[in-house]
Amino acid sequence: GCFSGNPNLGQGKLLPTSYADAKKICEDEGHTLCTDLTAITEFKKCGCSYNKFPIWTDIPCPPPPPSIPPPSAPTVRGVDISPPPPSQPPMPPVPPSLPPAFPHTGVLVVDGGNPTTHKLACVATNSSQTSLKSKPTLPIAAQCCEEGECRRCDNAQCNAVLGCLAGRYGFEEVTPTTYDEAERLCTRNGYTLCEKSCAGAGCGYDSLPVWTGIGCDPGTED
């Protein structure tokens, strides 16, 4: 006759109930869920071995304690003097973008004395070539540019014997350079390879083929 079964009889299990289930069981029997502690204490003497189990009641839960308002910010004559919030860590610097990859596998070698940038050959950038097959006795001269201005020497005395980047042709031996060596020479001086012949810029290179930074696809020489 126990409403939820007797754990000491049969299979020894209680019938689990929700609050709504328990309330309906009581109402079906003409009862109500207990609403005072005295009744609950008396219920412990009523058998069914429920003393060791939690039981449903109709006693409402106490309301939660009132929330404590946050302390007001300190002020002086109405001005908030509370400490500033912690600052956010600075954003990491944006890494510099890499320069675009050189879109060609070769560069033009041009006539150093021709102002129209006359092409003599297209040489692979990974080549060890320092002269042209058509002009085997003439080294390809390294010359550089700074913001479009030709720099065949590392100082202002381009008409002097000394100071030319690869040596002054006709006065001293001109150092032969590959494309990689010419590019490194310009970079070391803060320059870049030129995209023109630089005819008339001195150092005797008007009589030589010169390296440029003009891209091309290697093929047969003109």
Model pTM score:
0.53
CA-to-CA dists, residue 168 to 95, 130, 163, angstroms: 41, 17, 8
CA dihedral (18, 24, 29, 33) positive or negative: positive
Model confidence over 59-108: pLDDT tens digits?
888 887 888 877 776 665 566 656 677 777 887 786 666 555 667 889 99
Cα–Cα distance measured from residue 141 to residue 203, given in angstroms and rounded to the nearest whole number: 10
Opening angle at CA 70, ends 66 and 73, nearest 5: 155
Closest-CA residue to 175 (of 147, 213, 138, 207): 138
Model confidence over 5-57: pLDDT tens digits?
777 666 567 778 888 888 888 888 888 888 776 666 665 566 677 777 788 88
pLDDT at 112 over 90: yes
pLDDT at 125 over 50: yes
The predicted pLDDT at position 111 comes to 94
Closest-CA residue to 190 (of 126, 137, 144): 144
The SS3 of residue 77 is: coil
The predicted pLDDT at position 195 comes to 92
CA-to-CA dists, residue 148 to 138, 165, 197, angstroms: 26, 17, 11
Model confidence over 130-166: pLDDT tens digits?
998 888 889 999 999 998 899 888 765 565 566 788 8
